[in-house]
A = this chain, B = another copy of it.
Amino acid sequence: MMDDELLAVRVAELYYDENKTQDEIGGLLGISRWKAGRLLAQARESGIVRIEIVHPRARRLAMERALRDSFGLADAVVVPTPENELGVQARVAQAAADFLTSLRPVPRVLGVSWGRTLTDVSERMPEGWATGVTVVQINGGVSLNRRPGTASTLASTIAQRANGHAILLPSPAILERLATKKAIESDRTVAAVLERAVEANAYLYSAGVVDANSAHVESGYLRPDDMEELARRGAIGDVVGRYIDANGNIVDPALDERTLGISLDTLRSAAMAILVVAGTAKHDIARAVVTSGLCTVLITDEATARALLEDS
C-alpha cells in the first residue's frame, strides 16, 4: 500500500463532511467497502479525525476512567479546562452541582464544608434538585469572615433548594486555645451538630492551599506567619480546616486539636466523600487528598486531572 494515510483522509472527508456511506466511498475511491471502513477506524485512532464535544457542561470520560482506576475512586468527574483559565472554578462547580443533582440514592444527610468553591457550587444547585435533604455543616464556620455568613448561607442554600433544612455549626473553625475548643465542642448545640455530621450519607468539601491569602488567614483564624510555619513543616493545604502534608497526614497535631469539625478519619471511612477542586494552584493538595484516600469521588478540571495522572 503506497500512501495509506492520504487515502484515509479522503475517506474521512467523504464520510464525515459529506456523509456518504462507506459503500459509496468504496465505489467512489475504487476500494472495497471494508477497506473504507478500516481506513476510517484507522483515521479515528491515529487522530486524523478528531471528535470533540464543545460544551461548558461536557466531561472528559476517558480521564475519569483513568482516575477511577489509578486512585481507586468510586467516581470521578473531569470538565474541560476553558481557554481563559478563569472560568475553571465555575465549570467545576457546575459539574459538582450536576453530580449532586443526579446522585442516586439521594443522600438524606449531606455534610458540607465551606469555601469559595463550595459557595459557587451552592449557587449552581438547581431549585428542587432533591426533596428533603438535611445539610449539615461539618467544620467550623466563618463568622469572622469579611463577608459574614458565607459558610451558613452556603449550607442553607443547598438545603433550601432541596426543600430540606440546614444544620449549622455555631463555632469558629480554629480556636485559639485547646481548652476553649474542648468547651465549645462539648456544648449541647455544637455536640449535637457534630453527631449529625458524622452520620452523614455523603460529604461535600473542597480543599485550600497553604498561602497567605487563604480563607483561614483572611478570616483571622491563622496569621501569615502561622502559614509560613505550616509550609516549613511540609503542609500542602487543608481539608475541612485540617492541614495535611503530601501523604495526607496531619502536619501540626497541636493546631489540629484546636480545629473544630469532623476528623479526617471520619472522612476516610465515609461511604461517599466528594472532593471538589479546581485550578493549577490546587494540584498538589488534590494529589495529597486523592492518594491518601480522603475522597471517594473527585470532581475537577482537566488540567488537574492530567497532573494527577502524570505521575501515578
Q: Chain A 1-27, CB within 8 Å of chain B: the 1/0 string?
A: 000011001001110111000000000
Tally of contact residues, A, Cβ under 8 A: 26
Name A63's closest neighbour in chain B (CB-CB). B17
Chain B residues with CB below 8 A from A147, complex form: none
Asked if A58 and B9 make an inter-chain contact with CB atoms under 8 angstroms apart, the answer reads yes
Determine if B51 and A50 form an interchain contact, defined as CB atoms under 8 angstroms apart: yes
Contact A16 B53 (CB under 8 A): yes
The answer to the question of A105 belonging to the interface, with a C-beta cut-off of 8 Å to chain B, is no
A289 to chain B, nearest CB (A): 26
A53 touches B12 (CB 8 A): yes
**Does A146 belong to the interface (CB within 8 Å)?**
no
- CB-nearest residue of chain B relative to A9? B55
A83 on interface, CB distance cutoff 8 Å: no
A233 contacts the other chain (Cβ, under 8 Å)? no
A254 proximity list for chain B (CB < 8 A): none
B16 touches A59 (CB 8 A): no
Asked if A51 and B49 make an inter-chain contact with CB atoms under 8 angstroms apart, the answer reads yes
Q: Please report which residues of chain A, range 18-75, place their CB below 8 angstroms from some CB of chain B when the two chains form the complex.
A: 18, 43, 47-55, 57-62
Q: How far is the CB of A94 from chain B (nearest CB, A)?
A: 10
The 8 Å CB contact of A52, one of B52, B55, B58, B61, is B52
Q: Given the complex of chains A and B, what is the CA–CA distance between A50 and B51 in angstroms?
A: 6
- Cβ of A67 to closest chain B Cβ, rounded Å: 14
Inter-subunit contact B50/A54 (CB<8 Å): yes
A48: contacting residue among B53, B59, B61, CB under 8 A: B53
Give 20 new A-B contacts, CB below 8 A, not counting A6-B98, A9-B58, A48-B55: A5-B55, A12-B58, A13-B53, A16-B53, A17-B53, A17-B60, A17-B61, A17-B62, A18-B61, A18-B62, A43-B53, A47-B54, A48-B53, A48-B54, A49-B51, A49-B54, A50-B51, A50-B54, A51-B51, A51-B52
Residues of B within 8 A of A17 (CB): 53, 60-62
Find A50's partner among B48, B52, B62 (CB 8 Å cutoff). Answer: B52
User: Can you report 21 residue pairs joining A to B where beta carbons are below 8 Å apart?
Assistant: A6-B57, A9-B55, A9-B57, A9-B58, A12-B58, A13-B53, A13-B58, A13-B61, A14-B61, A16-B51, A17-B61, A17-B62, A47-B54, A48-B53, A48-B55, A48-B58, A49-B53, A50-B52, A50-B53, A50-B54, A51-B52
A21 to B61, CA, bound (A): 15
In angstroms, Cα B288 to Cα A110, docked, is 68
Question: Taking the nearest CB of chain B, how far is it from the CB of A161, in angstroms?
Answer: 16
Closest B residue to A56 by CB, please name it: B9
Q: How far is the CA of A16 from the CA of B16 in the complex (A)?
A: 14
Give the chain B neighbours of A13 by CB distance below 8 A: 53, 58-59, 61
* Across-interface contacts of A98 in B (CB, < 8 A): 6
A14→B55 CA distance, assembly (Å) = 14
List the B side residues contacting A49 at CB < 8 Å. Answer: 51-54
